[in-house]
A = this chain, B = another copy of it.
Amino acid sequence: MKFRAEIDVMPLDALLDPQGKAVTGSMKTVGLEMIDGVRIGKHIRLFVDADSKDTAAVKVEEACVKLLSNQIMESYSYTLEEA
């Protein structure tokens, strides 16, 4: 079976996010001063071939740890659905 994973990789709350801070500032410039607290990370979509959703989840975890996120600076979360 084929599963689709939607993964979010975000900077840890304890860390500064200069890109997000710059965008928060720009919101004021374009007249959107009611928006704040912008934080910017990555969104990753991928497909996994696996026998079950549980097996697919193990593979997605492994991909997040080995390649997709830097756990010193980032946290990840994901959802998994049959594609």
> Residues of A at under 8 Å CB distance from B?
6, 8-10, 20, 23-24, 26-27, 30, 32, 34-50, 59-60, 62-63, 66-68
Contacts and interface: CB of A to CB of B under 8 A. Distances in A.
14 contacts: A20-B44, A23-B67, A26-B67, A30-B66, A34-B48, A34-B59, A35-B49, A35-B60, A37-B45, A38-B45, A38-B46, A40-B43, A41-B44, A41-B45
Q: How many copies does the complex hold?
A: 2
For chain A, what secondary structure do more than half of its interface residues adopt (helix, strand, loop), or is it mixed? strand
What are the 3 tightest A-B residue pairs by CB atom distance, in nearest-first order?
Answer: A43-B43, A37-B47, A34-B49
A42 B45 contact: no
B35 A59 contact: yes
